[in-house]
Amino acid sequence: MYTFAPPLAPERLPELLRLMPKAELHIHIEGSLEPELIFALAQRNGVALPYASVDELRAAYAFTNLQSFLDIYYAGASVLVTEQDFYDMTRAYLLRAAQDNVIHTEIFFDPQTHTARGVAMETVVKGLHRACADAQAELGVSASLILCFLRHLSEEEAFETLEQALPYRDKIIGVGLDSGEVGNPPEKFARVFARCRELGLHLVAHAGEEGPPAYIWTALDVLKVERIDHGVQAIKDPALMQRLAQERIALTVCPLSNLKLCVFPELAQHNLRQLLDAGLAATVNSDDPAYFGGYMNDNFTQVFAATGMDARHAYTLARNSFEASFIDETTLSRYIGQLDACFESFR
Ligand code: ADE
Ligand code: ZN
């Protein structure tokens, strides 16, 4: 925990949370598709949806676990067809993130969801990348792309996906692992992650969202990932907690996602505060904001209100988000300078 933050009247905390510069390190771009955009793209592309209206679709967002969400999430992504669709989706997310004072974001995308429907890798990557480049130029937000392999599919299919992505290697900073966790342990992807490591890609993986602490251990020891996405189940394993703290391995925690997918019954029972107080490098992220009822600042303000965290936790979370990111040292110093200036202004 950092102690840089000034003493602050509790009623000013939400303002500080909104204004502080921050990085988002766990956002699935397909999970930023708002129902209105899903319907607009479905119409543009002549894609039939199994829902009659935006309201009917939104009413289906009542999830009981990860898989119940993924079924609807993959159906929603089926409206993405052209490069412009991928651009429009990413543009909308980046505009929304900038409103929340997100100044850096590392965006996950699931190419297999699209290539399986006959959409070319080129279409996906070019649309996403153009939106990222425009965000840097027009919004001053730095954005980079992390390709996620779907863990319910085979390692062979992951290798094929990597092969298709290699012509766009310069537009991708890393790879991740997402989709249904339980029954698909990290070690299933040992060889493809080893290959990505040789290629100089950064490595991350979802682990310990619904799955056991053992999956966090193998994500670290077999896949050799640099960050753990979610990781909240680590709390069940004291030896793992000690390791994550000692090695400063960042967890990209997603409070509203965990609430909506019933990982915790109430936000007041979320363990983010315990993770931070135990010295882990936790961060706050939105995961799939269009489905889980909130973007970055909603996640911050709601989890702080529910768990009673203070300005020191806020500083620590924002600072962790920059330190756990894959930006260069010069940019990191600049962003921490911006963060410190924001906190100074509340002194
Ligand atoms: N894909 C999109 N959101 C996800 C999540 N929370 N866990 C695993 N895979 C995902
Ligand atoms: Zn996720």
Q: Best substitution site from 70, 146, 184, 253 to test ligand 1's pocket, by max atoms within 8 Å of Cβ? A: 70
Q: How far is the CA of 150 from the centre of ligand 1 (A)?
A: 9
Supply the residue whose CA is at minimum distance from atom 10 of ligand 1: 179
What average pLDDT score do residues 261-289 get? 98
The structure's pTM equals: 0.98
Q: Beta strand 227-230 with 102-109: parallel, antiparallel or unpaired?
A: unpaired
* Residue/partner pairs of 219-225 with CB below 8 Å, 24 or more apart: 219/177, 219/186, 220/249, 222/186, 222/187, 222/190, 222/193, 223/177, 223/186, 223/187, 223/189, 223/190, 223/193, 224/193, 224/197, 225/186, 225/193
- Say if ligand 1 is within 6 A of residue 178 CB: yes
| H and E: helices and strands count for the chain | 17, 8
What are the Cα distances from residue 50, in Å, to 33, 46, 236? 16, 13, 40
Q: Which ligand is nearest to the CA of 27?
A: 2
pLDDT recorded at residue 1: 87
- In the block, tokens 């768990």 appear at 307
Residue 162, pLDDT > 90, answer yes
Q: How far is the CA of 52 from the centre of ligand 1 (A)?
A: 25
Q: Fill in the DSSP letter of residue 27.
A: E
Q: How far is the CA of 92 from the centre of ligand 1 (A)?
A: 20
pLDDT recorded at residue 3: 84
Which residue in 30, 34, 106, 209 is the catalytic one?
209
List pLDDT tens digits, range 132-159: 999 999 999 999 999 999 999 999 999 9
Active-site residue flag, 210? no
Q: Which ligand is nearest to the CA of 65?
A: 1
Supply the residue whose CA is at minimum distance from atom 6 of ligand 1: 287
Domains and CATH numbers, the chain: 10-344 (3.20.20.140)
pLDDT recorded at residue 124: 98
Mean pLDDT of the chain: 98
pLDDT recorded at residue 4: 82
* 28 membership: H or E segment, kind and range: strand 22-28
List pLDDT tens digits, range 56-73: 999 999 999 999 999 999
Q: How far is the CA of 129 from the centre of ligand 2 (A)?
A: 20
List pLDDT tens digits, range 232-255: 999 999 999 999 999 999 999 999
Supply the residue whose CA is at minimum distance from atom 8 of ligand 1: 179
